[in-house]
Amino acid sequence: MSRVPYLKAISFFGKGDCWHGGGLFTGGRRFWLNDGYGHSEMTRSTEVSRDVEFQPDTYYGGECTGVYYVRLQRDGWKLKGRHGAKLHTRTIFEKELLKGWILRKTAHEQVGAPPGKGCYWDEHELENKQSGTKLQFEGWEWAELDGKRIVFAADGKLFRVSLKSQTALGVPKELYDFNHLKFEELKAPY
């Protein structure tokens, strides 16, 4: 773990394989480590502490989904179902929004994903249960509720959009274009 925007570790856990790993914050300064096959604590910080009591309700495998799906549910997404076979599983999550809208995330775990996608990728849609309106957004790579608006990432940019009515959205507003950014080596001040 490091302090944003730096990569210099304040807590560092060595890992000798590619299984499990990662984790998530369970509180302001507490974290859960996805420790299925062991980590070696190399550096410890007093800024954060490991939450050894937290255990996810469900096990989603030893790769990225084992942390990602737990984080989604921690952040208010409801698991609605898993579909498909071993080479392409789709896991559906929903989050209730304002004015009868539901934001739906389909998380793909796929071997042989479409061009430009990795083995894990998401797609999003909005559905209004009251009006029956359904809107699909193939270009949204990430989406989340931020107060009363939806924020989403597409084409290397961050946008926000309001829920205008039960049948329409407002005009998306670009918040930031990240495409010009390049890695810049900065020495951490700690």
Q: What is the mean pLDDT of each run of 10 residues along the chain (190 residues)?
A: 92 87 93 84 92 92 91 97 93 96 97 93 96 95 95 98 94 98 92
DSSP SS3 for 151: strand
Per-residue pLDDT, 51: 94
CB atoms within 10 A of CB 2: 14
Quote the DSSP letter at residue 26.
Answer: S
Per-residue pLDDT, 85: 87
Is the bond leading into 5 cis (omega within 30 degrees of zero)?
A: yes
Residue with tokens 């049948």: 167
- Phi then psi for residue 107, to 5 deg, are -95, 120
Of 163, 165, 135, the closest CA to residue 150 belongs to: 163
Of 129, 88, 82, 87, the closest CA to residue 105 belongs to: 82
Per-residue pLDDT, 156: 97
Q: What is the DSSP string of 77-145?
A: -EEEEEEEETTEEEEEEEEE-STTEEEEEEEEEETTPPTT--SEEEEEEEEETTT--EEEETT-SEEEE
Per-residue pLDDT, 130: 93
Determine the Cα–Cα distance for residues 38 and 89; give it in Å rounded to an integer. Answer: 27
Determine the Cα–Cα distance for residues 161 and 164; give it in Å rounded to an integer. Answer: 9
Per-residue pLDDT, 17: 83
Q: Which helix (H) or strand (E) holds 69?
A: helix 65-74
Q: List beta partners, residue 177.
A: 157
One-letter amino acid identity for 126?
L
